[in-house]
Structure 1
Amino acid sequence: MQLLNLNIEGYRSLKNITWHPGKLNVLIGPNGSGKSNLIKALSLMVEACKGKLYETLVNTGGVYPLLWDGQVDTIKWNLELVSDDKSLEYGFSLKYRLKSGTYFIQKETLKNKSDKKELLPSELLELNKKVPVDLSSPLYSGEYSEGKYSFTETIYSQMSPVEDQVYRAFRRWINEITLYHDMPVGENAPIRRSSLLRVEKKVSSDGQNLIPVLHTLYSSNRDFKSDIDMAMNAAFDSEFVELVFPPAEDQRIQLKIIWKSMKRPQGMADLSDGTIKYLLLLAILANPEPPAMIIIDEPENGLHPAMLPVIAEYAYAASERTQIVLSTHSAELLNCIGEFNPTVTVFKNESGETNLKNCDGAELERWLQKYTLGKLFLSGNLEELL
């Protein structure tokens, strides 16, 4: 399923915004404009759906710092997901009690908006006034006592699975959406060490399982191997030969690169931070079975400019299989990805409140006749479209 729109109210600088992403998305705007707040708000909603709301809030300083300018007591999320034959809406409100410093889930709804009768029930979950009510599901009907659920977590995260196509589709989307923000690749990062030999097909949010993912896909999927090989040769002037995975101690494996001009393979300890970051992005974007949504914060960091056209091309290719979101400050990356007509969302902070808008239509086309997307970003003229 694809995210059609996301509405957030009362979260940090997001007083009341609605985001309409496409398949390939680029988020741009100056520091402090609200790009990170949008990503963090979406991430918090996902953690809430996994039953980790309380844990996440404790680790990030509680609810009060998240409230818009300290002037509201409620944060609201509402999203709509669509596919060729399904449509659903999910949302909830988090109410903060200032006097006691506590919070609870005030209202939560999961709706099937599809027209086809076989996708009923139309209401899978509804929570109002702290009493969850399911209006039509044959498995979950009637009112539940307040003692059955913890209201510091979403009711969705505490429900037993429902045998419904739309419910399963939403569960898959929530479980798979992945945010890549902090992926340590420095000298002492775990990513540089040998890894246990195990089958893994998805790069984790911190990127530290890169070796088993590359070993699994590079060794078993011919198309994935070809994509990695082409991308490496594009960035390294055809010096690249292949990846190899020699055994290490205790049933572990290493990752090494064979170069044409070197007599021995180069191990992870000897690779530059930028090369490892590049491999990470390739493993994420070339994945034949990607997660339901991929969000990468500032993918350009640490990369040589020669790598950016490849990342843009692979992001576009990945957007044919899943939804891609890139947040960037790089004019070079914007120039590269502009060739693929992404959905460009511009952020601007005015008096502590984030405004955002998808830049498209005739006015953007007029600007692009004179400037590349990167030059337009640097000029500041994109913000004038808000």
Structure 2
Amino acid sequence: MISTLAISGYRSIRNLVLPLAPLTIVTGANGSGKSSLYRALRLLRDVGSGAAIASLAREGGLQSTMWAGPEQFSREMLAGTQPVQGTLRSGPVALRLGFAGPDDGYAIDLGLPRPSGSRFDRDPEIKAEALWTGEVLDRMSVLVERRGPSARVRRIDDGSWRELTRELSPGDSVVTRCADPGDGLEMLRLRDRMRGWRFYDDLRTDRDAPARLTAVGTFTPRLGSDGGDLAAAIQTIIEIGDADSLADTIADAFSGASIGVDEEFTLHMRQPGLLRPLHVRELSDGTLRYILLAAALLSPRPPELMVLNEPEASLHGDLIEPLARLLRHAARTTQIVVVSHSQALVDALDEGQRITLEKRLGETVTGGSDVMPRWNWPSR
């Protein structure tokens, strides 16, 4: 399980270190930074698939995603007696992301390239990376470290260092470039973990939504990010997953209702009083969205981490409590982070870790006086 998430220099997040639980609810007012936190988590996943640089490019490049405020706020700025202004920078421009758990941790530091006259001078560079044992990076816990184009790994038997490469390109991560069953076993495991994280923020329910369209059915232990393989995912749960929990989840939200998949992989719902089942195209937006969430959360092969962005969208108020019960049930087998502005859902998930974000002088901070977990960034 991931117990600590660290983000620095990304959009409205200047420096944030958060504790995560098996079920974590991130909430806050509009514009408080919830979307920035969600995107930062997704960007971490992209590191594992070698797509971080391209993901940043789609967001407008590093210059468009960096923290735009001063490196530090003075006491006078915080008190409002002095206008916010730039201060003397003590460190390099950096976008840093990392996570850690009881067993290991990982962090990456991205920065600006040196001008070279290339058309690709706007591409960010990976300046440093580290993989370590335990929850906090220090001199004795580091297993793999990368600085610039060089990377080395610590031998487990005697603690000595062995060079992995001196030829890492600025956009290549050690997680992808150096992952192999030999010297790069730790990075191979880390890469596969990160690639397995699931994100759901685009489960469309409109008339032309992928979930309403006919699709070829194949074995689908995990719902796709757009929900286009919904029928196959439901059938996979029925055949090799927890079919009883699926049936209970649907009946909990829609009294007496049940869902099924025909031989042509078309989803339908039966409801009391109706003589025929309702085709997936006939379902309301809220009903379809709830079924999509059920398919994701009841996966027969649950991921290590699942992140849901505003899962309550399109749901009637009567479905909030069933959704909360579904989330609590799923959190027994996978770590879940829910980003939501629904106070009803936040209140219903009273057993989870609650993180409330707010803005202070344009910076995303946590409400209250919670102490941040310990965290050290790798040096360049």
TM-score range for the pair, normalised by the shorter chain length: 0.7 to 0.9
Query: 2:176 matched to 1:157?
Result: yes
The answer to whether the 8 A contact 1:122-1:136 is kept is: no
Q: Does 1:91 align with 2:111?
A: no
> 2:74 matched to which residue of 1?
none
Which residue does the alignment assign to 1:191? Answer: 211
Contact 1:52-1:153 at 8 Å conserved across structures: no
Match for 2:357 among 338, 342, 347? 347
| 1:227 paired residue number | 245
Per-residue deviation at 1:150? 2.1
Distance (Å, rounded) in 2 between the aligned partners of 1:133 and 1:270: 57
* Consecutive aligned runs of 4 or more in structure 1 exceeding 3 Å deviation: 97-100, 121-124, 162-169, 357-361
Which of 258, 281, 289 is 1:269 aligned to? Answer: 281
Residue pairs, 1:229-378, within 5 angstroms: 229-238=247-256, 240=257, 242-248=258-264, 253-338=265-350, 341-357=351-367
Aligned partner of 1:118 in structure 2 is: none
Identical residues among aligned pairs (%): 24
Structure 2 Cα separation of the partners of residues 202 and 359 of structure 1: 38
Structure 1 residue 108, shift from structure 2 partner = 0.7
Instruction: State the Cα distance separating 1:206 from its structure 2 match.
Output: 2.0
Distance (Å, rounded) in 2 between the aligned partners of 1:180 and 1:16: 25
8 Å Cα contact 1:73-1:97 kept in structure 2: no
Q: Which residue of 1 aligns with 2:232?
A: 212
Aligned amino acid, residue 106 of structure 1: K
**1:346 to partner: Cα distance:** 0.8
- Could you tell me which amino acid in structure 2 is paired with residue 113 of structure 1? G
Secondary structure of the residue aligned to 2:3 is: strand
2:132 pairs, out of 89, 99, 111, with: 111
Matched-pair contact (CA < 8 Å) for 2:234–2:261: no
- 1:74-153 mapped onto 2 (5 Å cutoff): 74-82=94-102, 87-97=103-113, 99=115, 100-113=121-134, 123-136=142-155, 141-142=162-163, 144-146=165-167, 149-153=168-172
Shift of 1:219: 3.1
Query: Which residue number corresponds to residue 77 of structure 2?
Result: none
Distance 1:211 1:232 in 2: 15
Mapped partners of 1:359, 1:25: distance in 2 = 18
- Seen in structure 2, the aligned counterparts of structure 1 residues 318 and 168 have a Cα distance that, compared at 3 Å, is farther
Contact kept? 1:345, 1:358, Cα under 8 Å: no
Change (3 A) 1:359 1:289: farther
The question of whether the paired residues in 2 share the 8 Å contact of 1:217 and 1:225 is answered with: yes
- Conserved in 1, the CA contact under 8 Å of 2:108 and 2:126? yes
SS of the counterpart of 1:301?
coil
The residue type paired with residue 111 of structure 2 is K
Moved more, 129-138 or 45-54: 129-138
Q: 1:189 to 1:38 in 2, by over 3 A?
A: same
Q: CA deviation at 1:357?
A: 5.0
> TM-score, length-normalised on structure 1?
0.81
2:21 counterpart of 1:25: no
Q: 1:359 to 1:231 in 2, by over 3 A?
A: farther
What CA distance in whole angstroms lies between the structure 2 residues aligned with 1:25 and 1:122?
27
Unaligned runs of 5+ in 1: 115-120, 362-386
Greater percentage in helix: 1
Give the aligned CA root-mean-square deviation in angstroms: 2.5
Contact 1:201 1:216 in 2 (8 A): yes
The gaps in structure 2 that reach 5 residues or longer are 71-91, 116-120, 372-380
- In the alignment, the residues of structure 1 paired with residue 187 and residue 341 of structure 2 have an alpha-carbon distance, to the nearest angstrom, of 37
Change (3 A) 1:70 1:332: closer
Q: Which has the higher contact order (CA 8 A, sep 6+)?
A: 2
Return closer, same or farther for 1:216/1:186 CA change in 2, 3 Å cut-off.
same
Q: Distance in 2 between matches of 1:359 and 1:261?
A: 53
Distance 1:243 1:351 in 2: 49
Secondary structure of residue in 2 paired with 1:97: coil
1:317-371 superposed Cα distances (whole Å, 9 cap, x missing partner): 1111111111111122123222xx211001011111111157889xxxxxxxxxx
